[in-house]
Amino acid sequence: MSDGRALYRDFRGREPRRETGTGIRFGSQWITAPGHLNILIPEQFAVIGHVNAIEYDSTRDGPAVFARHDFAKGSRPVLAVGGGKGQIFLIGTRYHFTSRGIVDIDHNGNDILDHKGLSRR
């Protein structure tokens, strides 16, 4: 089972109906094979600033709910944009996505478990 499939199962509580293949291109060269969802990484992009929080709708464990993650101060990713449509990126190494959602990571690579980052309405 792929890591993405297992993460989806752990987060959503059910098996995904399908996996989406991705193709990643840097400039004019494909880094991975083109798939159903192709991601173009621009040759140049602008860093806008740090991201303090991210809000999204999640369908974990039933109906869609609002979720918000406030990043710990040392874990905040930067927001970067490319020149094309749909080119917004969160870039950082001090967070990851788990079955609990976004989890901040401290400077030693450990999950920050006492951070009040996730809230749901």
**Cα distance between residue 48 and residue 81, in whole Å:** 7
Is-above-0.85 flag for pTM? no
- The yes-or-no verdict on residue 102 having pLDDT over 60 is yes
Residue 25: name the closest of 43, 45, 39 by CA: 39
pLDDT given at position 94: 93
Top pLDDT among 79 and 7 is at 79
Q: Which two tokens stand for residue 73?
A: 């101060």
Residue with tokens 């967070």: 95
Residue 26: name the closest of 104, 87, 71, 70 by CA: 87
